[in-house]
Structure 1
């Protein structure tokens, strides 16, 4: 059985590992060029998403609602990430 603290540790380690990927890639290629601000934004998105899902898992008791809320949170992350990366919706946050 996974305890709540083990799950939280897994979420934090996963977000950190995902942030390390572009950081390490920047050491080997000029194709990846993230500024410190990019890492801050990505960190807020990843850690915020993970912590919001953890909050849902700890507070919502009905399984169907848990799944639905976590899916909504993850879809929001993906849409925001895509918008920041390529500006698919043309909103001001993407610099369009």
Structure 2
């Protein structure tokens, strides 16, 4: 069953990465490079594996949910920074 979750995580990442790939075929508004896909895939994989680790090791449901929400917030902030540079760090190219 452990491999089933990993396959689910990898499948979800593949589907999410297909969204910009398909969008690039229809519009010039989406312009991802290979490195964009690699970075997004790494962020999503790291997040998925981290949440999986929390789900397996934290038994208290409230703490598990809190940590998972915190992980997702960090993902959203990093993603937004890399996408549009909301904080103006060098990572966003600002």
Higher RCO (C-alpha 8 Å, min separation 6): 1
Give the superposition deviation at 1:4. 4.2
Find the partner of 1:31 among 18, 25, 29: 29
Distance 1:58 1:64 in 2: 14
Moved over 4 A (4+): none
Q: TM-score, normalised by structure 2?
A: 0.91
Distance 2:3 2:59 in 1: 18
Query: Higher mean Cα deviation, 71-80 or 27-36?
Result: 27-36
1:33-48 matches, within 5 Å, as 33-48=31-46
Q: How many residues align?
A: 94
**Aligned-residue RMSD, C-alpha:** 1.2
Unpaired runs of 5+ residues, structure 2, are none
